[in-house]
Chains A and B, each alone.
Chain A
Amino acid sequence: MVGGGLGGLWATLRIAEAGFPVALFSLFPVKRSHSACAQGGINAVLDVKGQRDSIWQHIVDTIKGGDYLAEQPPIKSMCEDAPGLIRTYDRMGVTFSRTPEGVMDQRLFGGVKNRRTAFAGATTGQQLLYGVDEQVRMYEDQGKVEKFEWWEFTSLVLDDNGACRGITAMNLETMKVKAFRADAVILATGGLGLVYGRSTMSTNSTGAAASRAYQQGARFANGEFVQFHPTAMPGHDKNRLMSEACRGEGGRVWVPKQIGDTRDPLSIPEDERFYFLEEWYPAYGNTVPRDVASKAIYKVVRHMGMGLGGEDVVYLDLSHHPREFLETRLGGILEMYETFKGEDPYTKPMKIYPAVHYSMGGLLVDYEKDETTGGMKTISPKNHATTIPGLWACGECDSGYHGANRLGANSLLSASYSGRVAGDAVAAYLKGVKETCESTPESAYEQELNRQRELNDSITRGDGSENPFTLHAELGDLMRSHVFVERNNAGLDKALEGIKTLKDRFSSVSLDDCGDWTNQSLSWARQIHDMIVLAEVIAKGARLRDECRGSHYKPEFELKIPEGKYPGDPEWDDYVAKWKANNEKWMKTTVATYTDNGPEIEFTPFDVSVLPPDKPRDYR
């Protein structure tokens, strides 16, 4: 098991429970994983708010929220299993927020109309992570799980048939690389936000592990679909997330109607404020999905010139709520805003802007369809299997569930659910395994070890002029300039050229630290290389996909909803016809295969049998 966030810990639990020994590798103590940063909540239909919420509606919202770009049977199964997962977390002792009568509370989130998000204050991810972390520690105490913390996954060990037979990993203290045999390997290595330099992600969310598997032959899907979270605090080290729960709990996004209005926001009267989300999308208002909100903020700032003080920020306003309400519902993150911004979000509107937040794309994973239910088979070794035999992937590093845009509070769900499913898949595989890794010759491991040692030597011996940290900053600038909220082909060509140059420059990298003890520069340099490889996958997919879908927005190919027209109007019917024709061409998974000359990309169809795409998304 590589990675110890929600996905990795769930998979670990399931495999241990099935009676198989698990070795759990992580770059740091698993309790510090990026899942802790998820704030707002986790979606599951509990229908505790008298809204007659239904699992079917959760399925529809997820598929439509993702702009129809995801395999649908797994989505169906995930939404069906969500209430059971929440109940399990509740039994683990997770401190979900309660209603006055002591049952689990639910709040509103984006892209939906019902209150469907269970939460633990505004630190839900941290609470869920700790819940499974404790269960894993219990199994560790019982000898069922062995942790390898402070170890970095460096590569897969493949046998002559291309099947995965273990991994190599580097001890981050001694910097020694070791090979580990395994009958099955699961990657749950998280997102890739650091490819963009600054993002809402943790400093270890580089995507390097997924990139390494990709470079060894695993296919990478839908790389161009990167979520830009609409409400983050800009910063020069990181963009800190202000949860979608702010909008779900009634937060309003606005700018002054008058460009260059420098008055204190509280002194600006209601009728001189432009609540653009409420005006443009009256049906959903501030809780439109993230891709819609990010594009709107981008438009207001970049095209209408209405950013506050001419800068790239707009207001996210909670100041109309009583302090006590905000403290119990959002305290954790408002505290963070106050710490980092030095302003009081209880009384003053916050300043926010979209930031890179989540990768819908990832390692291509399979599933077995259950023809009787139309969902995914509960247990099958095919579920979450990558294209490399013996290798599975779950959590953000896989490509499932979210299509072209992820709904808020669906990530804690997909991380947990996919971890459970992948764990079950591996346990099922292990029960039937005929040829174990013990039959793989030692030479396969030695060969891979030698490759890794040579790679480390060549980097530490490098005496060129390139600094790995500078290369990362430049990669981030390039990606944020050309592969951001709004994209165009000329810019994407520039990005691809820039990436090629960075690749070349990487070969002249030299380190200020050539030692063999806790050498963070070496580990970082290796990750930079792997980030550059992923950047190319993202940019190339974006370049080739000439349409707008979810988070991927290329205005030159936009099919605009006719203004003021709704179902029944001929203009609407005409729009739907064009939309369907576009789907014929582009409603395909982008599949990247690694070659030394850059990714080879093909577009493949997928299963849309649960909710055939008849109606375009419309959040007006």
Chain B
Amino acid sequence: MSSEIKFKIKRQDGPNNSPYWEEFAMPYAPSHNVVSALMYLREHPINTRGERVRPVVWDCNCMEEVCGACTMLINGVPKQSCAALVDDLAQPIVLEPLTKFPVVRDLQVDRSRMFDALRMTKAWVPIDGTYDIHVHAPIIDPKVQQERYEFSRCMTCGCCMEACPQYHPDSAFVGPAPLGQVYLHNAHPTGRFFRDDRLHSIMGEGGLTDCGNAQNCVQVCPKNIPLTTAIGGLGRQTTMQMFKDIFMK
């Protein structure tokens, strides 16, 4: 076993600077993940040329693959760096920022476009107010709940957007994750009252029909969310909606 952990990291000082590669090596210790290794390197920021450099910038929070913050390309694959175990990775471990979002600095990117999409698609269940009205949501079939639960675990991490060939800075495509959220909320017994609004939001430019059916999204989703099921289901829902819009006019 190697006595070192080697990294090749794509760095960029700011949004308008050119990227460059920098290599680092650190002492091997068992059960490191990429974030714990980056934490070691920020305390000892010395590259393989022996120069003391500015610590690598990246985003992280929960460290248990549930907040979505630390997503990056690891050996070319988008995933959460906290859950990427060094012992499972070929070295040098190549770290790059996600390519579909603007780089803020080094491995940190700006994913606000994803959150904007949640807003645009009205991915919520409107309620009268956050006070108690003394009733629960209507009874929900446990099978429906189970299916919804799969989608409600989406942490807006961006892996599916990174892997999607249709989603990039120059396209208007809303991307797989927000579509999953539309599907989630349309399946709720009262959320469905507002499905027309959500469906209309994905029926125009950049909407559902921009999906090229590459099915990369389900391959890379760290939570195994059946995004293509959502996209297929929304295909049927939008078709119905189209007829409804024509005949109900």
Contacts and interface: CB of A to CB of B under 8 A. Distances in A.
A469 B132 contact: no
B29 to A, nearest CB: 7
Interface in A130-171: 130, 134-135, 137-138, 140-141, 149
Interface in B59-118: 59-69, 82-83, 85, 104-105, 108, 111-112, 115, 118
**Best-surrounded residue of B115, B133, B141 (most CB of chain A within 10 A):** B115
A218 B85 CA distance: 42
A512 B45 contact: yes
A87 B32 CA distance: 42
Interface in A55-96: 81, 84-85, 87-88, 90-96
**Best-surrounded residue of B43, B61, B105 (most CB of chain A within 10 A):** B61
**Best-surrounded residue of B43, B67, B112, B115 (most CB of chain A within 10 A):** B67
A517 B14 contact: yes
B123 interface: yes
Interface string B128-157: 011111111101111001101100110110
Given A36-B62, A36-B67, A97-B145, A141 B122 contact: yes
Contacts of A130: 152
Given A13-B130, A29-B115, A203-B63, A237 B33 contact: yes
A91 B189 CA distance: 9
B42 A515 contact: no
A520 B127 contact: no
A102 B141 contact: yes
B153 A123 contact: yes
A136 to B, nearest CB: 9
A104 B149 contact: no
Contacts of B133: 87-88, 91
Interface residues on A, range: 35 or more
A514 to B, nearest CB: 8
B232 interface: no
Contacts of B140: 98, 102
A469 to B, nearest CB: 4
Interface in A234-251: 235-238, 240-241
Contacts of A99: 142
A84 B54 contact: no
Pick the 3 closest A-B CB pairs, nearest first: A84-B132, A237-B36, A134-B124
7 contacts: A31-B68, A87-B135, A98-B145, A103-B139, A134-B123, A240-B64, A515-B54
Given A94-B152, A520-B57, 18 more contacts: A17-B129, A28-B69, A32-B62, A34-B62, A90-B136, A91-B133, A91-B135, A98-B141, A103-B136, A126-B153, A238-B63, A340-B64, A340-B85, A469-B43, A512-B52, A517-B105, A518-B108, A521-B55
Interface of B: 13-14, 29, 31-33, 35-36, 39, 42-43, 45, 52-55, 57, 59-69, 82-83, 85, 104-105, 108, 111-112, 115, 118-119, 122-127, 129-137, 139-142, 145-146, 148-149, 152-153, 155-156, 184-185, 188, 190-191
